[in-house]
Amino acid sequence: MGTSASSTAPVIVWFRQDLRIDDNPALSAAAESGAPVIPLFIWSPEEEGNWEPGAASRFWLHHSLTELTISLARLGSPLIIKRGYSLSVLRDFAKEVGAHAVYWSRRYEPSTIVRDKNLKGALVNDGVDARSFNANLLFEPWQVLNAKNEPYRVFTAFYKAATALVTPPAPIDPPKKLVAPVKKVRSVAISDLMLLPKINWTMGLNDAWQPGEKGAKKNLEIFLDVLNRYVPDRDCPGVSGTSRLSPHLHFGEISPRTIWHAVRDTGKAGESKTTYLKELVWREFAHSLLYHFPHTANSPLRPEFERFAWRNDPDLLERWQKGATGYPLIDAGMRELWHTGWMHNRVRMIVASFLVKDLLLPWQQGAEWFWDTLVDADLANNTLGWQWSAGCGADAAPYFRVFNPVLQSQKFDPDGEYIKRWVPELSGLPKAWIHHPWDTPKEVLKAAAIELGKSYPQPIVDHAFARQRALEAFKQLKPVAAK
DNA sequence: TGAAATGTTGGGGCG
DNA sequence: ACGCCCCAACATTTC
């Protein structure tokens, strides 16, 4: 507001992970100013450090940008796309178009915070009104602190404190129209960003998803219809009982406030409602942790884990990645991920436990694979999930908690529907054997046209043995962890 | 947001 | 009928 700009000096709205029109405070503030609005996206993967968007994220981004362009053009001012370092692009562009202000929605990744802080200073120096807004979180990470002004390390405490603090504000309406700048502005074409893979392996992703704001709203509607069955269904990967909103949330195609209020306002579903809202708060917890402990994307929160002797075995890693472990549920999950860019959360926990505890491979290798293959790859959520599984994070699984891939399979995919969908070579097996094919009588295997070791692998590790090995290895850390 | 090992109980088969 | 044993079924402890 400090600068006295003429009414024709445009406002730049810098889009990043808020690729939506609804409940976008930066966009609405720009529109309400009455000035021309230039929506801008800058493709600058180099600035993400170790965590450049992976292949699945790029696929998603391509389509999400396409959708956003259409929506913004409809409102009156199409999306401008640039490539290069955010700081120099923004300064040059602001100068070029004579913008008096740049608005954006906050991001919370450590390297992004550093970058944005710099950038804000530089813009202010240039006499530009640089302003950031909260579009992506229900609670700012610096708001939710304990009595000693420290971040919470236990979810339940965080949850209580956060929800007692404030009710997330209601979502705001989208602008009705945008005033385009007088002078035409040049933009890079989305296809020139080369976000899509050269070899087209994205058919499965295309079938499973509709990136963009419209797809996000559709998934929310579908989910609200089954919300009252969330508690019983959410753990069953063969049932569509989860929201499938994670990629939409990551790219900001729908705001957590919109979801929060939509869920709260549905009449039915008592227990399911609070359980789901809790999941949204887990996302907040993850962002808070990464904000307050910025090193944890790459290193364990609990320092004693730095010394853990993870194994190095590229062959085992690849068998896990490709879904060839010989454990049907594990393989089903890894293949669902490869095929659709997403994996059911219950199965994520199981395959993570398997990588870390059965194979003793470092959680960072799992995190990297998820980062590349998930359409919902999100640094905060990914970090929390993997550190939780490895037991080296906040409120993490105790070292002795080892998932049994067969028991989990029998419990949550009792009829083997999920397994049959993603591991079709086992679809001829009766459900008595489908969770542990290696025990199957010869004649049953023959009838199902399965030759273990050929058409489907033998288990790459014996779970009972692996569990014992993990317990001993992880127990070593305990005395160090105690004090 | 585990699972295995160990302990306890009680019904039923059987001498 | 009685005691003994076996072993589900459930509970508790341990990793």
**Using one digit for the tens of pLDDT, what is the confidence trace for A152-207?**
999 999 999 999 998 999 999 999 999 999 999 999 999 999 999 999 999 999 99
For strand C, is any atom closer than 7 Å to the CB of A322? no
User: Around Cβ A276, how many Cβ atoms within 10 Å?
Assistant: 21
> Would you say the C-beta of A465 is within 7 Å of strand C?
no
To the query of whether residue A310 is one of the catalytic residues in this protein, the response is yes
Per-residue pLDDT at A7: 61
| Residue A480 beta carbon within 7 A of nucleic strand C | no
CA of A111 to C1' of C4 (A): 73
* Contact present, A36 and A179 (Cβ < 8 Å): yes
Pairing of strands A101-105, A80-83: unpaired
Q: Which of A14, A104, A260, A363 is catalytic?
A: A363
- SS3 label, residue A243: coil
- Stated in angstroms, how far is A70 CA from C9 C1'? 63
Q: What is the pLDDT of residue A269?
A: 61
Among this protein's residues, is A24 annotated catalytic?
no
Distance CA A405, CA A354 (A): 8
Angle among Cα A352, A355, A360 to the nearest 5 degrees reads: 135
CATH 1.10.1740.10 fits A137-170+211-292, yes or no: no
Q: Give the count of beta carbons closer than 10 Å to the beta carbon of residue A461.
A: 18
Does A279 participate in catalysis according to the annotation? Answer: yes
Query: What are the domain boundaries of chain A?
Result: 11-134, 137-170+211-292, 303-475
DSSP string, A380-404: HHHHHHHHHHHT-STTPPPTT----
Q: What architecture is the A11-134 domain classified under in CATH?
A: 3-Layer(aba) Sandwich (3.40)
Alpha-carbon dihedral of residues A282, A288, A289, A295, nearest 10 degrees?
Answer: 140
Tokens representing A17?
């992970």
The residue annotated as part of the active site, out of A345, A368, A425, A438, is A345
- Any strand C atom closer than 7 Å to A449 CB: no
As a rounded value in angstroms, the CA-to-C1' distance for A400 and C14 is: 10
Instruction: Kindly state the greatest CA–CA separation across chain A.
Output: 84
Q: Are the CB atoms for A122 and A88 separated by under 8 Å?
A: no
Q: How many other CB atoms are found less than 10 A from the CB of residue A452?
A: 15
Positions of chain A with pLDDT lower than 70, given as ranges: 1-7, 269, 478-483
CA A217, A220, A224: angle at the middle one, nearest 5? Answer: 140
Task: Show which residues sit with Cβ under 7 A of nucleic chain B.
Answer: A 155, 279, 282, 345-346, 349, 397, 400-404, 407-408, 411, 463-464, 467
**Strand B positions closer than 7 A to protein CB:** 1-4
Q: How far apart are CA A384 and CA A283, in angstroms?
A: 9
Q: Beta-carbon neighbour count of residue A211 at 10 Å?
A: 25
Strand C footprint nucleotides (protein C-beta < 7 Å): 15
| pLDDT value of position A477 | 86
How many Cβ atoms are within 10 Å of A350's Cβ, its own excluded?
25
Q: What is the DSSP letter of A345?
A: H
pLDDT at A8: 85
A373: number of Cβ within 10 Å: 21
Q: Is A422 a catalytic residue?
A: no
Which DSSP string corresponds to A60-120? Answer: HHHHHHHHHHHHHHHHT-PPEEEES-HHHHHHHHHHHHT-SEEEEE----HHHHHHHHHHH
Cβ neighbours of A459 (radius 10 Å): 19
Q: By three-state DSSP, how is residue A432 classified?
A: coil
Q: Say whether A483 sits in a helix, a strand or coil.
A: coil
Q: Which of A89, A68, A92 is nearest to A20 (CA)?
A: A68
Taken in order A225, A230, A232, A237, the sign of the CA dihedral is: positive
Catalytic residue among A47, A48, A52, A279: A279
User: Quick one: which residue's CA is nearest to B2's C1'?
Assistant: A401
H or E element that contains A15: strand A11-15
According to the model, what pLDDT value does residue A1 have? 43
Which of A16, A45, A281, A247 lies closest to A135, judged by CA? A16
Q: How far apart are CA A211 and CA A68, in angstroms?
A: 10
Token duo for residue A443: 């004649």
Catalytic hit among A310, A368, A417, A438 = A310
- The separation, in Å, between residue A15 CA and nucleotide C5 C1' comes to 75
What does CATH list as the number for A303-475?
Answer: 1.10.579.10
Enumerate the β-bridge partners of residue A133: A105
Helix (H) or strand (E) holding A441: none
Structure tokens at A327: 């454990």
Taking residue A480's Cβ as centre, other Cβ atoms within 10 Å add up to: 12
* DSSP line for A112-142: HHHHHHHHHHHHHHTT-EEEEE--S-SS-TT
CB A244 within 8 A of CB A229: no
Query: Which of A104, A338, A386, A433 is flagged as catalytic?
Result: A386
